[in-house]
Chains A and B, each alone.
Chain A
Amino acid sequence: MKTYLTQVWDISYKDIRLEMRTRQMAVSVLVIVIALMIVTNLAIPKSVDATFTTTATVIWLCILIASFMVVMRNFVIEYDQIGFHGLIMCPVPRDAIYLGKVVSNLIFLLVIESILFPLSSILFDVPLLTPTVAAITGMATIGIVAAGTLFAAISVNTKAREIMLPVLFFPAVIPIVLAAVDATQNALNPSYGANILEDIGVLAALSLAIIATSAILFNFAVDE
């Protein structure tokens, strides 16, 4: 078990070290997502009296776009320089490669979210920095990244990878994004009287189901 976890961490650490040396992905994704947040914020009419719903929707839209860019970039860099073929030939289980990629993508996205949430809290003037919102975000991000990593591994092998990833990825994560938006707006406004623990439970179950199915299917996706 320890060896397996070490293999997973080694694969993730390789991606993290690459990003720390180049600092290409996190910065560019963050700039794009902040620009998107400002544009959507300006596009929403001032008269709209639904701050919690609007905030939750805009934040999850930004996270979805950020996750699309993160998972794609993580695979493209490696695939274009034939590094992915070397990774496949490593004497480690294929699902360890998948989980390693999921962990590195998750860390990148959590870093982006750790900047995005305080910024949104200021821009939208809503209390986003609470343990409940953090738990919801963590659970939903795991599911989104798990699905995105599998679809990125597939899309990168196709002729139109930039088109294929959103076509496959967005419909697959609609249930988890809907659940995350719903849970976030419930967490922002306790007067809704919703059971937040139940919302977090649903998100955890969805993420677990996605990660388990994707880990099995990844073995077939990279069966060179």
Chain B
Amino acid sequence: MLLQNRIMLGLILIAMMSALYLIFIMVPTDVNLGVSQRIFYIHVPLAVLSLIPPIIVFITSILYLVRRSPQWDALAHSSVEVGLLFTTLALVTGSIWARPTWGVWWTWDPVLTTFLILWLVYLGYLLIRSYTAEPDKRARFSAIVGILGSINALAVYLASELWRTIHPDKVIGPAAEENALDPAIQLGILVSFIAILLLFAYTIIFRTRLHSAVNQIGSLRDQIDDLVYRISNK
């Protein structure tokens, strides 16, 4: 394993352990929501970070269509895989919180619905990759699906701003009110956000390297096949 991989994994482990300590021991229990509110320290970073892959996919897919460089396709592919994982976890953790608070596992709230659409778009992206045999077509089709899917993700944020929703108000980020949180809770959210952000970055980098390696092996294999064909026809 590369040294930088070990350092990154070490940092993730330290950040995760610190986040767990803060979530379960340091931060006070919410007066209104009770113990169930503690899942927010995981749910909020997951949901916020789920909105980053669509931006990466949008930019890298356009770059791929313009420049046709496989590295952009590899980065878009990895972002979708990580995006699917984070969206799934955000939906599951949100659902676990919703059951004791709203009394239902799921409600057709605009924010939840749009996250579900985003999840479906990610699945569609991965399916089109697996059902398209030719590498060039696979990359082009998935880039098109990626661009349209990312535009769909914009609706996630707009939905929470424009449509009437029962989703809780934002307590972090640009739309948050000032002093909306207790300092201990702020620290808890910050540390778990850093931990999950590190995990997010590490997984994307790791998967991109893996996809690039697979692409290189594929092109080497094609070159060898070509060489063998030429030798056998001499």
Residues of A contacting B133 in the complex (Cβ-Cβ under 8 angstroms): 159
Residues of A contacting B137 in the complex (Cβ-Cβ under 8 angstroms): 157
Q: Which of A9-17, A20-28, A131-139, A160-168 lies at the interface with chain B? A: A160-168
Q: Please measure, in the bound complex, the distance between the C-alpha atom of A168 and the C-alpha atom of B120, giving whole angstroms.
A: 8
Q: Does A154 contact B (CB under 8 A)?
A: yes
Q: Which residue of A lies closest to B134 (CB)?
A: A157
> Which secondary structure dominates where chain B touches chain A?
helix
* B131 and A159 within 8 A (CB): yes
A38 CB, min distance to chain B CBs, angstroms? 27
Q: Which residues of chain A from 207 to 224 have a CB within 8 Å of any chain B CB?
A: 213-214, 217, 220-221, 223
Residues of B contacting A164 in the complex (Cβ-Cβ under 8 angstroms): 124, 127-128, 131
Residues of B contacting A171 in the complex (Cβ-Cβ under 8 angstroms): 117, 120-121, 124, 149, 152
Q: Which residue of B lies closest to A158 (CB)?
A: B131
Residues of A contacting B65 in the complex (Cβ-Cβ under 8 angstroms): 220
* B144 and A221 within 8 A (CB): yes
Q: Please measure, in the bound complex, the distance between the C-alpha atom of A163 and the C-alpha atom of B128, giving whole angstroms.
A: 10
Q: Which residue of B lies closest to A175 (CB)?
A: B155
Q: Please measure, in the bound complex, the distance between the C-alpha atom of A220 and the C-alpha atom of B143, giving whole angstroms.
A: 9
Q: Does A76 contact B (CB under 8 A)?
A: no
Q: Please measure, in the bound complex, the distance between the C-alpha atom of A213 and the C-alpha atom of B113, giving whole angstroms.
A: 23
Q: Which residues of chain A from 185 to 224 have a CB within 8 Å of any chain B CB?
A: 213-214, 217, 220-221, 223
Q: B residues engaging A (CB < 8 A)?
A: 65, 113, 117, 120-121, 123-124, 127-128, 131-133, 137, 140-141, 143-145, 147-149, 151-152, 155
12 contacts between A and B (CB under 8 A): A147-B148, A154-B145, A157-B132, A157-B137, A158-B132, A158-B141, A163-B127, A163-B131, A164-B131, A220-B143, A221-B141, A221-B144
Q: A residues engaging B (CB < 8 A)?
A: 147, 150, 154, 157-160, 163-164, 167-168, 170-172, 174-175, 213-214, 217, 220-221, 223
